[in-house]
Structure 1
Amino acid sequence: MSGRRAQLLAALLAAAPVAPAAAPAAPNVLLILADDLRPDAPGFAGGREARTPHLDALARGGTVFPRAACSYPICHVSRSELLSGQLALGRPGQGAPGGPVAFDPASPLLPARLADAGWHTIHAGKWHVAGTPAQRGFRETAGMFSGGGAAGKPGTVERSPTGREVTGYRGWTFKDAAGRAQPELGVGLTPETDRIITARAAEAIGRLRDRTFFLQVNLTAPHDPLLEPPGSQRGPEPELPANFRPAPAFETGNAGGRDERIVPAPRTAEAVRAERELYFRLVEEVDRNVGELLAALSAAGVRERTLVLFSSDNGLALGSHGLMGKQNQYEHSFNVPLILAGPGIPAEWSLATQCYLRDLYPTLCDLLGLATPAGLDGRSLLPVLRGEHREVHDAVFGYFTDTQRMIRTAEGWKLIWYPAIGRTELFHLPADPDELRDLAGEPAHAARLAELRTRLAAWQLQHRDPAPPAFRRP
């Protein structure tokens, strides 16, 4: 074992938590989720357009996973997989991929597992999961933003600062734990929504300083509609992504989706730049609220004994590959930013380990000294953090409705299969991180293509995938 790994192992063992019964010595957990945050947007991930000093400092104080992924790039499925630790495909009672997620009643969700072990569990922010927080293991709700969908005031057309029609979040309202609407806090997404969520969460941190808690804070930014944060100022004109296209090269399966209609194709560079400029201001708003939450931990005197996890439910195209939304398998949408920091987590470390959001459930169980429930698909990242393994998955897989399936190997080979049109794409990410060169039609890569199609098809069959498998039957 190298000296560096020995030091990390010693740090992890020294910071190992005691049993939950010994609260308040057991670590608190603060899980912060952004909404539609591109994995390359924050400064710690190489982003240049948005200033993210709080996230950058959090990353320096912890471990970053630049190859973390969401599995299914859309809000409710991704969030459900995180809470359940399970793949939302092919499970008993599960309908079509992308439909309401059928939770396994025999397997406790993450907040329920922690609540049963003695943590006071609190939810604040966007919900977007079947049921209510109270039904899913949260003992307290500190401002739930939910319900109403896209419906707004009859006969009105709301527009964002870039002039685009607002098609999402129009009828959503804050609700209390009993499901009672709180319209006085705003109807639809407002520029103050995340500040209200953050203030409620910060108040809970101060109030619970003498208890051991698990607090999940789900922010709504930088999801559309892109509304100017209070006090924000227009930034410099952002660059277009290296893989910008006015329109997709072919129909990937979501051409009529709401996200793609926000800026209709073909998209001009000017229109995409305008959206990106406002988007990155909202990324800065995410950073501002993360800073407020970290300051609340420090003010309560619990920062040093709190595990902090930061991620997003999925990424976003925002002009890449001719797309605007997240409903695709490219890296900008499938990948998510991920930071782990706090007791037992090495600082100033970046791990190229492939992982899913659903891996956070068993990882937290290990970090907190709890038994992991049986039946989880997620795998603990603790062996990687300890330097015992480089990977916990030989490959990761992605899916969206019945139109997209994907496999990405630890070596960086990636195959995307489009069952509805019988098309494949093949990329070698170490040489082509922006996925600009499709190798699927090149004879030199025919063997690799066949291998990945076979592996992806085997995964589909294992999980009773209703989509056609990624090989051609004779």
Structure 2
Amino acid sequence: MQSHNLFMLCFLTSFLVNDPQFIVAKERPHVVFIVADDLRADVMSVYGGPVPTPHMQDLANRGCRFQRATCGYPICHVSRTEFLSGRSVVAEATPGKVIPFPPEWTLWPAWMQKHGWETIHSGKWHVNGQPHQRGFDRTAGLYSSGGAKGQPLTLPISSSGHSVTGYRGWTFKADSEDGSGKSLPELGIGLMPDTDLRIANAAIKQINQTGGSPLFLTVNFTAPHDPLHWPKGWKDSFRASDVKLPVNFLPEHPFDHGNQNGRDEMIIPAPRTRESVQLQRSIYYALVANIDEQVGRIAQALQSRGMLDETIFIFTSDQGLALGSHGLMGKQNQYEHTTNVPLLIAGPGVPAGRTIVSNCALRDLYPTVCDLCHLETPISVQGESLVSLWNTSSEDVTRITYGYFTDTQRMIRDDEGWKLIWYPQQNLRQLFHLTADPHEMNNLAADPNHAGRLKKLSQQLSNWLTKQGDPVIDANSPSHPDNARD
């Protein structure tokens, strides 16, 4: 009898181990999450743009390409706070300070760490605290502020001839587990032509050294953020005279949108000329092409280790950049070139070659990975898993996305292609029908034919902001979006 039971146990064990469905259910996939900085989707060839992105196209072919992914707040540290926490942070972000992580928020890397993933952060760190305080086992190629006190930028003038204003005092830090890695100013203070190459190299090194635990690796590039230096090996790869201006190019924005004199807008002060924008965009294009190359190298490293098919591979950006669209240069706005970010997801559980047109948000990535890794989603997470978007036909899924910036901008985009932007301080509204007007050039807010649509969106936006505890709604009730002029 005992020998019979032993035989059955061996038989069942052998059967289950060799059953592909059992293996998929049991195995915990690796996760590689890559984030670009200020990358607008519409310049990439994978989204129909002018910059060849063959490695991004390979990723899209292996998985899903999202057409309507939204960043919540178009500033690096707030956008990153959203996807690390899986939450909307409109109440916390409006005062304009660095957002703390309350102890009741369960952060994404900490959740993965708790469930046995080896958590590694590579590249740019731009949220509150240090990686080891947020759930990362260690850092690799950490690039963060500090470490060069009193020392000047290595490259103080950009490739387009303008003074560099961003990443002052930022340096690489030596790899560490406790965040105490010493600063490495000898690698450059501020952005350098090889900054993202170094970040990719650090990530690849971690892939090559990974052991038995599943890997949760975040790779955070600095490009194509301004100020813009030609990336290493790409100098003059795009000629400014060949670069086409965006369809919605303007020399300056028609009104103060809330960041008229911000740092990004002063890189090329208004009114902008065609030539100055073309030069800026040519360098930007080279930075985008370089990011695509680095993504390809990371994918190849996974392939060489036999890990690629076992990896949930995600690429996105924290927000886009105007670069002349609507007369703006920076990211602090609610137009599509900024808020509509690239998002590509491939790997176990993700269908190949699918285009998803439903709205979604970056805060949805955390619960999505929980779904794909067979983990419960923490109660503090407000985002919604995207798995339903590829398991259901798009017309059966209703999703609305929202955006916000300081106390000057609020946005809602519905699932019928309509978008409302409200400027509380200006008491102005813009209404765009993105299906017919993807470049947002025809403001319909004053059109009586769309009064019903305007009222509906204004009320939906107001309801959501109130639910989120938005101080703009509380403090400026006379500037309620229903009462704004058009």
TM-score, length-scaled by structure 2:
0.89
Shift of the alpha carbon at 1:98?
A: 3.7
Residue in 1 aligned with 2:69?
68
**2:124 pairs with 1:138:** no
What one-letter code is carried by the residue in structure 1 that aligns with 2:74? Answer: P
Instruction: Tell whether the 8 Å contact from 1:35 to 1:222 is kept in structure 2 after alignment.
Output: yes
Shift of the alpha carbon at 1:14?
A: 5.1
Shift of the alpha carbon at 1:462?
A: 1.1
Identify the match of residue 220 of structure 1 among 218, 222, 227: 222
Structure 1 residues 79, 170: CA separation in 2 closer, same or farther (over 3 Å shift)?
same
| Cα distance in 2, alignment partners of residues 348 and 412 from structure 1 | 23
- Range moving further from structure 2, 167-176 or 464-473: 464-473
Residue in 2 aligned with 1:261?
266
Instruction: Tell whether the 8 Å contact from 1:77 to 1:98 is kept in structure 2 after alignment.
Output: no
Shift of the alpha carbon at 1:18?
A: 3.2
| Cα distance in 2, alignment partners of residues 150 and 423 from structure 1 | 43
SS of aligned partner of 1:411: coil
Identify the match of residue 185 of structure 2 among 183, 186, 190: 183
Shift of the alpha carbon at 1:149?
A: 10
SS of aligned partner of 1:373: coil
**2:375 pairs with 1:373:** no
| Cα deviation digits, residues 86-135 of structure 1 (max 9, x gap) | 11122xxx363442123231231000000100000000000001000000
Residue in 1 aligned with 2:347?
342
Instruction: Tell whether the 8 Å contact from 1:88 to 1:102 is kept in structure 2 after alignment.
Output: no
**2:325 pairs with 1:325:** no
| Cα deviation digits, residues 332-361 of structure 1 (max 9, x gap) | 001110000011111111010110000001
What one-letter code is carried by the residue in structure 1 that aligns with 2:363? Answer: R
Q: How does 1:414-425 map to 2 (within 5 A)?
A: 414-425=419-430
| Cα distance in 2, alignment partners of residues 79 and 317 from structure 1 | 19
Instruction: Tell whether the 8 Å contact from 1:260 to 1:324 is kept in structure 2 after alignment.
Output: yes
Structure 1 residues 256, 393: CA separation in 2 closer, same or farther (over 3 Å shift)?
farther
Structure 1 residues 460, 203: CA separation in 2 closer, same or farther (over 3 Å shift)?
same
**2:295 pairs with 1:293:** no
Identify the match of residue 243 of structure 1 among 238, 245, 248: 248
SS of aligned partner of 1:128: coil
| Cα deviation digits, residues 303-322 of structure 1 (max 9, x gap) | 11011000000011110000
- Range moving further from structure 2, 174-183 or 301-310: 174-183
| Cα deviation digits, residues 393-445 of structure 1 (max 9, x gap) | 53111100000001110001111000001000000000000000000111111
**2:298 pairs with 1:302:** no
Residue in 2 aligned with 1:231?
233
Shift of the alpha carbon at 1:161?
A: 1.3
Coordinate RMSD, CA, aligned: 2.0
SS of aligned partner of 1:352: strand
Residue in 2 aligned with 1:409?
414
- Range moving further from structure 2, 126-135 or 381-390: 381-390
Identify the match of residue 437 of structure 1 among 420, 427, 442: 442
| Cα distance in 1, alignment partners of residues 331 and 73 from structure 2 | 10
Note the residue ranges of structure 2 that are not aligned, 5 or more in a row. 1-19
SS of aligned partner of 2:56: helix
| Cα distance in 2, alignment partners of residues 375 and 391 from structure 1 | 27
Residue in 1 aligned with 2:165?
167
Note the residue ranges of structure 1 that are not aligned, 5 or more in a row. 1-12, 20-24
Shift of the alpha carbon at 1:150?
A: 11
| Cα distance in 2, alignment partners of residues 391 and 109 from structure 1 | 30
Q: How does 1:35-184 map to 2 (within 5 A)?
A: 35-48=37-50, 50-90=51-91, 94=92, 96-148=94-146, 153=151, 158-176=156-174, 177-184=179-186
Identity, in percent, stands at 50
Shift of the alpha carbon at 1:448?
A: 1.2
Report the structure number with the largest CA radius of gyration.
2
| Cα distance in 2, alignment partners of residues 195 and 155 from structure 1 | 19
| Cα distance in 2, alignment partners of residues 204 and 165 from structure 1 | 35
SS of aligned partner of 1:67: strand
Q: How does 1:375-390 map to 2 (within 5 A)?
A: 375-387=380-392, 390=395
- Range moving further from structure 2, 460-469 or 247-256: 460-469
Instruction: Tell whether the 8 Å contact from 2:31 to 2:311 is kept in structure 1 after alignment.
Output: yes
TM-score, length-scaled by structure 1:
0.91
Instruction: Tell whether the 8 Å contact from 2:319 to 2:339 is kept in structure 1 after alignment.
Output: yes
Instruction: Tell whether the 8 Å contact from 1:17 to 1:368 is kept in structure 2 after alignment.
Output: no
Q: How does 1:19-38 map to 2 (within 5 A)?
A: 19=26, 25-38=27-40
Shift of the alpha carbon at 1:170?
A: 2.7
What one-letter code is carried by the residue in structure 2 that aligns with 1:118? Answer: G
Instruction: Tell whether the 8 Å contact from 2:360 to 2:399 is kept in structure 1 after alignment.
Output: no
Q: Which has the higher helix share?
A: 2
| Cα distance in 2, alignment partners of residues 29 and 262 from structure 1 | 36
Structure 1 residues 430, 249: CA separation in 2 closer, same or farther (over 3 Å shift)?
same
SS of aligned partner of 1:118: coil
What one-letter code is carried by the residue in structure 2 that aligns with 1:457? Answer: S
- Range moving further from structure 2, 325-334 or 460-469: 460-469
Residue in 1 aligned with 2:9?
none
